[in-house]
Amino acid sequence: MLQYSIRRLLYIIPVLLGVCFIVFFLFNVVATDPAAQQLGKHATASSIVELRKELGLDRSYFVQYLDIVKSAFTFDFGRSWSSHQKISDILMNKAGASLSLTIPAFIISMFLGISLSLFVAFYRGRLIDYATMLICIAMMSISYLVYIIVFQYVLAYEWGLFEVSGYESGFPAFIPYVALPILISVVTSLGPDIRFFRTIMLDEIYQDYVRTARAKGLSEKVILFKHVLRNALVPIITYIIIQLPFLILGALLLESFFDIPGLGGELLRALNSSDFPVIKAFTVLTAIAYMVFSLVTDIFYALADPRIKLQ
């Protein structure tokens, strides 16, 4: 496993170089002149030239590409064009608020999704199964924005059960401010999660080993919780770990509506102000996290199922 992990980590290097090239090509070649965007439509040619020199955009494309590669390996992404702060400091300062929202929401939604999918799989083909699937489809058909607006207005503004917006750093001061966003995130995730996990459970239930277990006299609960769940771990692990990199970005809409100073709000600000260094940093970090967690997924495969060999 150690040798496999080392090989996979080495494979990340050429992939990361390719990601850096795509990021460089999109933002430095395809996109319009960042200096002109920063100065606006009334900018003069001389001011654009001066700003391009200040931002380092007058250098050759190869040198600018090397800057992106260097930042990907050193995690030093320079400074924001709009706030002039170090991007690494911005990420460190904003990460806590985002993770205080995304991690609890993710853990709760995964626990409820797997638990409820086991429940409906146990009662498959019955009224409770059909009713649950109908509710899941109905929940998935409603826009994410509708959940945010309705929950914020009714539960926070009208009933006063939660804070409407704002954020305080430190535990447990942040809990009242993230409670409603977490609730919204969990509710919106339950529909797709239950449908996905239920499908996995049902695929396993109709396998030959389940018929053999029934023939041996094992109860349906033992079969479902001991055998079916264990054999369904591989797709479940894939589903869970592949989502982890995106927790880094935070919940953009939730942070914007509830005024939570996290990474999602920072990314939205960078998009609105054409702050390319910040956008590049988010893009590269997400790619790195995705590749690392893909490696973690493969390792967990082998731990969950001894039949899987890492080569």
- Does one domain contain both 51 and 114? no
pLDDT at 307: 61
| Whether residue 132 is found in the same domain as residue 255 | yes
Please report the pLDDT score of residue 130 as a whole number.
92
Instruction: Supply the pLDDT for residue 105.
Output: 93
The answer to whether residue 151 is domain-embedded is: yes
Does residue 293 form part of some domain?
Answer: no
Mean pLDDT by 10 residues, the chain (311 residues): 76 87 81 71 79 81 89 88 87 88 92 91 88 92 91 92 88 90 93 91 86 86 83 83 76 86 85 83 86 79 63 54
pTM: 0.82
> What total of structural domains would you count in the chain?
2
Shared-domain flag, residues 235 and 126: yes
Residue 86 pairs in a beta bridge with: 79
Residue 308 included in any domain: no
Same domain, 145 and 199: yes
173 and 262 co-located in one domain: yes
pLDDT of residue 112: 94
Inside any domain, residue 270:
yes
Residues 119 and 51 occupy one common structural domain: no
Domain range spanning residue 55?
2-74
Q: What is the DSSP letter of 161?
A: S
**Distance from C-alpha of 310 to C-alpha of 2, rounded to nearest angstrom:** 10
Closest by alpha carbon to 29, among 3, 68, 2? 68
Cα atoms found within 13 Å of the Cα of residue 244, Cβ hemisphere only: 17
Whether 130 is in a domain gets the answer: yes
Distance CA 84, CA 90 (A): 10
Q: Are residues 61 and 129 in the same domain?
A: no
pLDDT the model gives residue 311: 54
Give CB contacts under 8 A, 24+ apart, made by 20-25: 20/65, 20/68, 20/69, 20/72, 20/284, 21/65, 23/68, 23/280, 23/283, 23/284, 24/61, 24/64, 24/65, 24/68
Residue at 296 is within a domain: no
Residues 99 and 248 reside in one and the same domain:
yes
pLDDT at position 306, please?
61
